[in-house]
Amino acid sequence: MTTTNDKNIATVLHLSALIQYIIPFGNFIFPIVIWSSKKGESEFIDYNGKQVLNFQLSIFIYTVVLCLIAIPIFIYTIFKNVPFDACFHDDNFVINHLNLEHITGAVIIGIVAVLLFVFMKVAEFVLIIHAAVKASSGEEYKYPLSIPFFK
């Protein structure tokens, strides 16, 4: 039987991942601290703690992969299309050769990676709120596309 206290702790556990918007890597630190201190008290808290950490680690891996795709493409495109003899006029950097005709398939892949990243972060925020609501009602919630690091 899941108690109200267990539901509240599980809800806070899910919502603690939102600290990432205030403190870097807070989405790992706070859930780990809460989960490790309370996991022995309840199977419900243990399950929710594992789900939060699995989801946050999965999101981190997806973010790293998307950055490894997008950043080199954009750096290459900028250095390829911006000449080193670009002019400085009135303390402004003028780029004369960066225009739409230089967009290639690789640049489109980079743009898609950036759009996927933005979509992923919005979905992460919505899924965290949804999981917290489920935990507050006593339901077990499994995040979609979450890699099961902790079983």
pLDDT score of 80: 73
- pTM metric for this prediction: 0.82
Type and span of the H or E element at 88: strand 88-89
- Distance between CA atoms of 67 and 63, rounded to whole angstroms? 6
Burial of 39 (0-12, 13-18, 19+ CB in 10 A): middle
pLDDT score of 89: 55
Rounded mean pLDDT for each run of 10 residues along the chain, 151 residues in total: 90 94 92 93 94 96 93 81 56 56 78 94 96 94 92 83
pLDDT score of 1: 73
Please, what sign has the CA dihedral across residues 98, 69, 110, 101? positive
pLDDT score of 60: 96
Among 2, 3, 71, 63, residue whose Cα is nearest residue 27: 63
